[in-house]
Amino acid sequence: MNKRVTKLSLIISALALLCLVPPSRITAQEANSKGDSTEAQGEKRAHRRYILKDLGTLGGPASQLSFSAKILNNRGTVVGDADTSTPDPFAPNCLSPSCFVSHGFKWEHGIKTDLGTLPGGSSSDVNFVNELGQITGRSQNGLIDPLAGIPETVAVLWQANGEIINLGNLGGNQGLAVGVNDSGQVVGMSTNTIPDAFSLFDPRFTTQTRAFLWQRGVMRDLGTLGGPDAFAAYVNERGQVVGISYTNSTPNDTTGIPTVHTFLWENGRMTDLGSLGGTLSFPNDINSRGQVIGNMTLPGDLSQHPFLWERGRLIDLGTFGGSNGDATWLNDAGEVVGWANFPGSMGRHAFVWRHGVKKELGPPPGDVCSVAYGINSEGQVVGTSGVCHGAVHAVLWEDGSAIDLNTVIPPNSALQLVFALSINDRGEIAGLGVPPGVPVRDADGLGHAFLLIPVDEDENEEDTKADSRPDQRTPQVR
């Protein structure tokens, strides 16, 4: 794992095998005949336009954003990671995919700030920002883990003023802070000192990985569902924590690791959210109502379905007739977005699930597959579309239309927008794009983070064209 919350090495390696989709032979005409989310069923109309902010790097080749995490708040703050021009001294054990020293950054009010590291550290990365501007992540401390033989990382919280706080650990040498709510409660993982043959987080770790809740300077081990390891991913405003845990210590024949279930922790009690018959589960979000979404495997662990859990009820959100799907995000109204396969698992479309009904969100004309990553309180959905084995275009779905976001930014912009990952309640959109010369397939490793800001009707678009230049203003905070 480099930093992605949804790429926990053992679990996601198993789940990734389920998500591979061969190139589709569905024609654009066939794809656009499905659902009503394209303009094929209505008269084409003009959509609002956007200012493009290329958030640039810290002198290196790339900047990155976490998938399935809150990287954009309603104040317009974007958080991510950016490469410097310094090669990583710990290569090949790098935090950045490009193996340059990388630091977490935040962008707000037109200024990008290098968040720096703990004293002695080389690289850091971030995962999540709350509405107060507090940011979670991890930082190297300059030491080598004597057990794993890789750099030590520490769970950290950056305050809105840039101060970095070491959250401590549970006795081990590795940690990561993931979610944070507006009360300043932080969740994540920390290793302890108990030997463990099946680390839930990284196979190089030799001790147990445990879920933690940190608040007011104290880190609490949340326990497990019966196995040795757990990992906390999200915390809502009610203090409910969702994550994953081993339920036992016995490896399964299908995965080679013990059974993994999603848990909900509340008031000192950890609840097992069950399964759809398989041995793997992963949550992607929890809202303020305590609804949880994610994916679970079916019997045999050869396929996965999106799920919604609410008040003790586990709902299989199904697919479009294929084998696989995933629920990637939800809002506080309980609207869920994600993707699902068609029969034969030869293609996939995004979906939105509202009031018990799953609606297909097809791609813009010319594309054949789509995936949704985010939804705001207004029901606007963002994601990506293209060929079924790769992303090509960042997409917005609203008012029954699928809009390629590359068509609503200034012409000759410096980036091709590939992934739209998050949309806030102001309609601002954060994602990843590629500069000239970088293939779209490398957006997650060699791309640039971007922010799209809706243009007011009376704003002169000519005044916004320069905003697509990479932002290199990077005051540093340590």
Domains and CATH numbers, the chain: 9-21+30-468 (2.130.10.150)
**Bridge partners for 424 per DSSP:** none
Chain segment 37-74, per-residue pLDDT in tens? 333 334 455 789 999 999 999 999 999 999 989 999 99
What pLDDT, on the 0 to 100 scale, is given for residue 388?
Answer: 84
CA-CA distance, 34 to 141, in Å (whole number)? 52
By DSSP bridging, strand 369-375 and strand 357-361 are unpaired
**Bridge partners for 404 per DSSP:** 395
Q: In a 3-state reduction of DSSP, which class is residue 418?
A: strand
Q: Which amino acid is at 295?
A: N
What pLDDT, on the 0 to 100 scale, is given for residue 457?
Answer: 61
pLDDT tops 90 at residue 305: yes
Mean pLDDT across 348-371: 96
Tell me how long the chain is. 478
For 74-108, give the DSSP string: TT--EEEEEEEEEEPTTTTS-SSTT-EEEEEEEEE
User: pLDDT exceeding 70 applies to what percent of the chain?
Assistant: 86
Chain segment 247-272, per-residue pLDDT in tens? 999 999 999 999 999 999 999 999 99
Mean pLDDT across 210-231: 98
Q: Which amino acid is at 334?
A: G
CA-CA distance, 263 to 213, in Å (whole number)? 14
Q: CB under 8 Å to 312, separation ≥6 — which residues?
A: none
Residue 109 is encoded by which pair of tokens?
């009010």
pLDDT tops 50 at residue 404: yes
Torsion on CA atoms 77, 83, 88, 90, rounded to nearest 10: 30
What pLDDT, on the 0 to 100 scale, is given for residue 468?
Answer: 55
Q: Is the dihedral of CA 310, 422, 282, 342 positive or negative?
A: positive
Q: Which amino acid is at 249?
A: S
Q: Are 180 and 157 in contact (CB under 8 A)?
A: yes
pLDDT tops 70 at residue 105: yes
User: pLDDT exceeding 90 applies to what percent of the chain?
Assistant: 81
CA-CA distance, 419 to 446, in Å (whole number)? 13
pLDDT tops 60 at residue 447: yes
Q: Are 406 and 49 in contact (CB under 8 A)?
A: no
By DSSP bridging, strand 448-454 and strand 429-434 are antiparallel
pLDDT tops 50 at residue 4: no
Buried b or exposed e, range 23-35, using 16+ CB within 10 angstroms:
ebebeeeebbebb
- At 467, is the pLDDT very low, low, confident or very high (cuts 50, 70, 90)? low
**Mean pLDDT, all residues of the chain:** 88
C-alpha dist (Å) from residue 322 to 249, 340, 342, 345: 32, 7, 4, 5
CA-CA distance, 373 to 328, in Å (whole number)? 6
CA-CA distance, 88 to 120, in Å (whole number)? 14
Q: In a 3-state reduction of DSSP, which class is residue 16?
A: helix
- At 408, is the pLDDT very low, low, confident or very high (cuts 50, 70, 90)? very high
pTM of the model: 0.89
Q: Are 308 and 331 in contact (CB under 8 A)?
A: no
Q: In a 3-state reduction of DSSP, which class is residue 15?
A: helix
- At 138, is the pLDDT very low, low, confident or very high (cuts 50, 70, 90)? very high
pLDDT tops 60 at residue 128: yes
pLDDT tops 50 at residue 5: no
Q: CB under 8 Å to 226, separation ≥6 — which residues?
A: 245, 246, 247, 248
Q: If you ran DSSP here, which 8-state letter would residue 322 be given?
A: S
Closest C-alpha among 148, 159, 181, 175 to residue 115:
159
- Outline where 132-174 has alpha helix (H): none
Closest C-alpha among 61, 54, 109 to residue 469:
54
Closest C-alpha among 463, 473, 447 to residue 52:
463
Whose tokens are 């609804």? That residue is 291
